[in-house]
Structure 1
């Protein structure tokens, strides 16, 4: 693994229900987590301090999340040279009690088009 080079994600597989999913573990211990309705992001911090964000399709989506890039830069400890973080980016509506926004709302976030109806400042991550 090299920061700056996206890693193919391990994607979920469809089952016919919880019972079938549990059988796949063959009695082994496992952990579950809540599935947020957001966009998958691989966040890479390079040794030069720059940050790149890659989509599930391994496309560079750094320009879509300048606020996230700034947040990562601010939070990084100077002792950490580089890392790769697999994350789920969710939109937060701060005007409605920090309500988590849907995937569709987050997807409407500006993509560099001047005609976009929803600007980055309206959908915080």
Structure 2
């Protein structure tokens, strides 16, 4: 269980770092923007009314953080199942309890992961310099 919790902490921190790197990289003139014309894609999707793609693609910091954290969660599940061969519900026999624990763990991971990632993108504690 301790190994599982350590993997969870590492996954949350790695997710936040990845979100920050990706978010900075898609900004105008940065390397992913230049490579993939990311800002042009966002503008094109915006004109086409594809709100989900626009927000999750980087126009909304919260939506972007949430989208990457969602993908990160499923990678985290895969790593836990394959690498350490353990998941939170391993010792639970009741199917309803397993489902409830999985839903709660998903909500906790996504909530914490999104907020940490958002904090990494837009640090609210950063003081403005004049």
TM over 0.5: no
More strand by share: 1
More helix by share: 2
What is the TM-score normalised by the length of structure 2?
0.24
